[in-house]
Amino acid sequence: MDLSIIIPSFNERDNIVPIVERIHTALRDEPIRYEIWFVDDSTDDTVDVLSEMEAVDKQVHVYHRDSERGLASAVVAGFARARGEYLIVMDADLQHPPELLPEIYRNLAAGSDIVIPSRFVSGGSDGGLGPLRKLVSWVARVIGQLALRRLRKISDCTSGYFGVNRNVVDGAQLDPIGWKILIEVLVKGRYKTVHEIPYEFLARDAGESKMSMREQWNYFRHLFRLVSQSPADRRFFLFCAIGASGVVVNLVVLSILKYALRVPDTSASIIASLVAMLSNYIWNDQITWRASGQRKWNIKLPLFIGISLVGIALTTLVMDGFRAVGVAVPIGQVIGILVSTVWSYMMNNRLTWKD
């Protein structure tokens, strides 16, 4: 078997016959042996339509789940049943054009480990989403890319349409939450090359989207789990959490100095900041970069302090820049803090705790 097409379906009765027809038409002139696997969690009569289809079409297989739901876990169940050398995942609702299958297949056969039809490379479009979903989808992608480095170079990491060489997922411990199976594959799969090709994500003809607030929440749970399982991605979050703890240390020390010890305000403020910086240094040294860094503390500590001071200057600079174009000071300050956090993380990673 050359190719297995895996289609998660949930209450898609009117789309089953058209999608199978269009897949056959798209692959009619290709010398490819393929099968179609529906992994169905439907609660309506979609399963009857699927059973009829399975009875008359030898290339169609159906796995119906009664006790479980979830797009991503359905795809994992499909991976386990598929026999093809290459695996392509697509939605049942024809928003993912089957006409692209030969091109995805050709790229896989030519050696790309993962092939992603993308809405966001030149020639692609995501016309099938309304303006609000577009915004939500953009924010979700940016957050995913900030959190997980393996997503950074991928323009459409939340695509539901993609192909993989089966070696990418065979043996990988796939354990996704919710919808985004491609993110799970990109983070945990074994691969070298990813190729994106443009496509037009069209509007649905029949039925409606099953996207919900619950799935958005699941997306964050999923990202959180992936980050906590990956040492390199975890580091940045530890750094941020320790930075936040530094604010607490700063305020506690300030209060003690001012109210209990009657230290003058300016001195109290400076001492509190220095203590917080030292506390941040120790935590980062013991936790964030515990496993890395060959340098001695008398090199690391001054580097850390230098980077932190430049970070403060950077925050002010960014805030000032935004203020000049009319942005409120607290908002500019928050953006400044974000910029300087990313910057100081990168500098500490490259200099202070350099391997």
- The residues that touch ligand GDD, with contacts defined as CB under 6 A, are 8-10, 12, 39-41, 69-71, 74, 91-93, 95, 158-161, 179, 201, 209-211
* 223 contacts 157 by C-beta, under 8 angstroms: no
Shortest distance, position 131 Cβ to ligand GDD, whole Å: 14
Q: Is 11 in the site for Mn ion (CB under 5 A)?
A: no
Assigned token pair, 213: 């607030």
- Check residue 344 for interaction with Mn ion (CB under 5 A): no
Helix 231-255 vs helix 265-283: crossing angle, to nearest 10: 150
Cβ distance to ligand GDD smaller for residue 39 or 253: 39
Q: Considering the complex, what minimum distance in angstroms separates the CB of residue 320 from Mn ion?
A: 45
Q: Name the strands in the sheet holding 86-89, side by side, starting at the edge strand that comes first in the sequence.
A: 60-64, 34-40, 3-9, 86-89, 162-165, 114-118, 194-198
Strand segments, DSSP code E, in the chain are: 3-9, 34-40, 60-64, 86-89, 114-118, 162-165, 194-198
When the beta carbons of 112 and 218 are compared against ligand GDD, the nearer one is: 218
Rg over CA atoms, the chain: 26
Our finding on whether 233 is near Mn ion (CB under 5 A) is: no
| 156 makes contact with Mn ion (CB under 5 A) | no
Please give the biggest Cα pair distance in the chain: 87
Q: Residue 109's binding partner, choosing from ligand GDD, Mn ion, none, with beta-carbon cut-off 5 to 8 A by kind?
A: none
Q: How far is the CB of 86 from ligand GDD (least distance, A)?
A: 19
Query: Residue 268 Cβ, how far from ligand GDD at the closest point, in Å?
Result: 51
The Cα angle at residue 114 between residues 109 and 115, in degrees rounded to 5: 75
Q: Which stretch binds Mn ion (CB under 5 A): 39-47, 84-92, 263-271, 311-319?
A: 84-92
Count of residues of this chain found to bind Mn ion when the rule CB under 5 A is applied: 3
**Which of the residues 93 through 122 are near Mn ion (CB under 5 A)?**
93, 95
Query: Is residue 42 near Mn ion by the rule CB under 5 A?
Result: no
Q: Indicate the residue type of 252.
A: V
d(CA 66, CA 63): 10
Q: Which is nearer to Mn ion, 35 or 91 (CB)?
A: 91
| Cβ proximity to ligand GDD, 70 vs 332, nearer residue | 70
Q: How far is the CB of 195 from ligand GDD (least distance, A)?
A: 17
**Smallest gap, in angstroms, from Cβ of residue 152 to ligand GDD?**
18
CA angle centred on 318, ends 312 and 320, rounded to 5°? 105
Termini Cα distance of the chain:
46
Does residue 195 sit in helix, strand or coil? Answer: strand
Q: Shortest approach of Mn ion to residue 99 CB, angstroms?
A: 17
Would you say 40 or 93 has its CB closer to Mn ion?
A: 93
Q: Which amino acid, residue 148?
A: L
Nearest Cα residue to 156 out of 130, 175, 182, 190: 182
CB-nearer residue toward ligand GDD: 124 or 336: 124
Closest to ligand GDD by CB, 41 or 233: 41
Contact between residue 117 and residue 95 where contact means Cβ atoms under 8 Å apart: no
Q: Is the distance from CB of 166 to CB of 176 less than 8 angstroms?
A: no
Among ligand GDD, Mn ion, none, partner that 46 touches (CB below 5 to 8 angstroms by kind): none
Residues at the site binding Mn ion, with contacts judged by CB under 5 A: 91, 93, 95
